[in-house]
């Protein structure tokens, strides 16, 4: 469990936690300390602390607490707020999702301590992070003796329409055309894994006394940012009050995304295929030649589907529930890329539904006329190991094989277990009739010289190495003999000429 997630990732200077000394200003410092209470001992233990915020009585903390939530347990939390001495505290019970206002108490005698506003939201299982860099052009001048000292504040929209601060850039001094340092932020901090969730960005001029001047704001989304540097990621900074007062008002400057990259294995780099697409292309281009019409059903699993956000572990990539077939590998790649634009990746990650999906097709054709191959490309996370084992054991009786390609840097112990090369897979005390699973980690085939063509060729060779033996083992176990070879092809209008020697 992560104790505390620092979502600020500030570099040279943080307008909240900055180290530039204040001159002739009375400093007030506030921070929040979270305590959790033991279920049995009832003792309070410090869980984590926010950053310190200077010169404000209304702190909006960037750093967030990440806690495990147990539905069946009563989880008491205590928040202590501190200035030069303890200001007050508030206690409440942890709920799955809420926004709550609590009055601080047990603080300075005879003085009101204020109110704490708490919000919580269930986190997605998205573990990706994004690195981005911004610059601005022709921002409004706010300083009397200079230009401006701009910084940006990023807010994630919540499910109830409110906003939660998630990142602050450093301050760039005395300029109207700042270039901020690149920063890395967890995707769940920015949008909780929902790529279409609104992200609000406010631009301020930093003031030493904490009364930062608002320059303007704009909104975007993770999906828009992921398009990288382009005309779509140039934003007008708008000050609504100023716009209402001035008829000729255009904007208060522009902000431009300079660069964007993501650790997501699904990230679509405009210059090269991602790991999923490379694995699909490498294996698919070989195996597709064994299918007469080259029409393949392509399924996804572990995602929320529009429009109602239903989690599915067996959905067509092309969005057509009645006809999930794609035309060749290029058709599958196109459906995959389109699907990433519409679905929200979401856990848990269940394999059994897609294994059973193919098994239903295979069970209907057991006369040897067809053999089915399921290609699963995964990052190694699996949430239904027992059910998947049972599905594979049942599938071992059918004309089918399963290829698993692992992408990313995760440990693939579960995939190795499903492979069954060393120990035959079993379920409910029953051994699989034959080995039908082949697993390979994609990273083992990445050529260090960057030669992706060579990497994909080596991957395809090893992935498909076991398929012929698995195919023959099924046919032999069922006593199915090869069909007679068809007669040689003779072009129309040509006759065979026999030569006697």
For residue 103, give the CATH number of its domain: 2.60.40
Range of the domain at 391: 275-477
Q: What share of the chain is helix, strand, coil (3-state, %, to 5)?
A: 20, 30, 50
> Is residue 287, in this structure, part of any structural domain at all?
yes
- Please tell me the distance from the alpha carbon of residue 405 to that of residue 280, in angstroms, as a whole number: 9
- Please tell me the distance from the alpha carbon of residue 154 to that of residue 223, in angstroms, as a whole number: 15
> Is residue 182, in this structure, part of any structural domain at all?
yes
Of 24, 18, 19, 35, the C-alpha closest to 77 is: 35
Residue 485: how many CB atoms within 10 A of its CB?
A: 6
Whole-angstrom CA distances from 26 to 23, 82, 114, 157 are: 9, 16, 20, 34
Residue 380: how many CB atoms within 10 A of its CB?
A: 19
357 and 461 belong to one structural domain: yes
What's 333's domain CATH number? 3.40.50
Long-range pairs for 466-475: beta carbons < 8 A, 24 or more residues apart: 466/401, 466/435, 466/438, 467/287, 467/373, 467/401, 467/403, 467/438, 470/401, 470/434, 470/435, 470/436, 470/438, 471/371, 471/401, 473/434, 474/371, 474/398, 474/399, 474/434, 475/368
111 and 130 belong to one structural domain: no
SS3 state of residue 352 = helix
116 and 133 belong to one structural domain: no
Residue 177 in tokens: 């055309």
Whole-angstrom CA distances from 85 to 29, 54, 78, 170, 218 are: 10, 14, 17, 29, 38
152 and 116 belong to one structural domain: no
Those residues whose C-beta lies under 8 Å from the C-beta of residue 420, and which sit 6 or more positions away, are 432, 435, 437
Structurally, the chain folds into a number of domains equal to 3
**pLDDT at res. 26:** 34
pTM exceeds 0.85: no
458 and 314 belong to one structural domain: yes
Residue 454 in tokens: 């060579």
CB distance 222 to 268 below 8 Å: no
**pLDDT at res. 83:** 63
Q: What is the number of alpha carbons within 13 Å of residue 342 lying toward its C-beta?
A: 16
150 and 118 belong to one structural domain: no
Ordered mean pLDDT values, 10 residues apiece, the chain (501 residues):
39 37 38 83 86 78 80 80 57 50 60 76 78 96 86 90 91 96 92 89 92 95 89 95 91 95 80 84 84 92 87 93 93 93 83 95 93 91 92 96 88 89 89 93 75 75 88 93 76 52 36
What's 140's domain CATH number? 2.60.40.150
**pLDDT at res. 91:** 56
**pLDDT at res. 14:** 37
332 and 360 belong to one structural domain: yes
81 and 165 belong to one structural domain: no
Q: Which of 75, 103, 122 is the last residue of a domain?
A: 122
SS3 state of residue 367 = coil
151 and 117 belong to one structural domain: no
> Is residue 2, in this structure, part of any structural domain at all?
no
Those residues whose C-beta lies under 8 Å from the C-beta of residue 103, and which sit 6 or more positions away, are 90, 113, 114, 115
Tell me 180's DSSP state: P
């Amino acid at each position: 469990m992560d104790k505390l997630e620092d979502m600020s990732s500030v570099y040279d200077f943080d307008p909240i936690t900055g180290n530039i000394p204040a001159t002739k200003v009375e400093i007030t410092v506030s921070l929040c300390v979270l305590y959790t209470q033991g279920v049995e001992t009832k003792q309070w233990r410090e869980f984590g602390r926010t950053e310190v915020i200077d010169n404000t009585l209304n702190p909006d903390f960037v750093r967030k607490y990440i806690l495990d939530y147990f539905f069946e347990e009563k989880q008491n939390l205590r928040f202590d707020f501190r200035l030069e001495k303890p200001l007050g505290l508030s206690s409440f019970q942890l709920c799955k999702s809420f926004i709550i206002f609590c009055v601080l108490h047990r603080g300075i005698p005879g003085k009101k301590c204020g109110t704490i506003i708490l919000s919580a939201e269930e986190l997605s299982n998205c573990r990706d992070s994004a690195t981005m860099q911004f610059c601005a052009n022709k921002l409004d001048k706010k300083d009397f003796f200079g230009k401006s000292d701009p910084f940006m504040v990023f807010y994630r929209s919540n499910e109830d329409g409110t906003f939660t601060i998630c990142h602050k850039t450093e301050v760039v001094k005395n300029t109207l055309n700042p270039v901020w340092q690149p920063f890395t932020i967890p995707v769940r901090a920015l949008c909780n894994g929902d790529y279409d969730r609104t992200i609000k960005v406010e631009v301020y001029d930093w003031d030493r006394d904490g009364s930062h001047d608002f320059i303007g704001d704009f909104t975007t989304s993770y999906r828009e940012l992921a398009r990288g540097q382009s005309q779509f990621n140039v934003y007008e900074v708008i000050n609504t009050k100023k716009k209402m007062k001035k008829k000729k008002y255009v904007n208060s400057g522009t902000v431009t995304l300079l660069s964007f990259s993501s650790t997501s294995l699904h990230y679509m780099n405009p210059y090269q295929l991602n790991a999923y697409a490379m694995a699909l292309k490498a294996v698919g281009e070989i195996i597709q030649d064994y299918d007469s019409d080259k029409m393949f059903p392509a399924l996804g699993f572990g995602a929320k589907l529009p429009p109602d956000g239903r989690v599915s572990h067996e959905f067509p990539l092309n969005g057509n529930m009645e006809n999930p077939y794609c035309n060749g590998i290029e058709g599958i790649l196109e459906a995959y890329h389109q699907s990433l634009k519409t679905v929200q990746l979401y856990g848990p990650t269940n394999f059994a539904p897609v294994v059973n999906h193919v098994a239903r097709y295979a069970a209907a054709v057991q006369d040897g006329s067809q053999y089915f191959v399921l290609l699963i490309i995964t990052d190694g996370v699996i949430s239904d190991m027992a059910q998947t084992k049972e599905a594979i054991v049942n599938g071992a009786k059918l004309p089918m094989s399963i290829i698993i390609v692992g992408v990313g840097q995760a440990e693939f112990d579960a995939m190795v277990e499903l492979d069954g090369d060393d120990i035959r897979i079993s379920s409910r005390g029953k051994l699989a009739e034959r080995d039908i699973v082949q697993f390979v980690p994609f990273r083992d085939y990445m050529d260090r010289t960057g030669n992706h063509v060579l990497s994909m060729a080596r991957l395809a060779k090893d992935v498909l190495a076991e398929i012929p033996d698995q195919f023959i083992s099924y046919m032999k176990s069922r006593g199915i003999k090869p069909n007679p070879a068809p007669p040689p092809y003779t072009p129309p209008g040509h006759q065979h000429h026999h030569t006697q020697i």
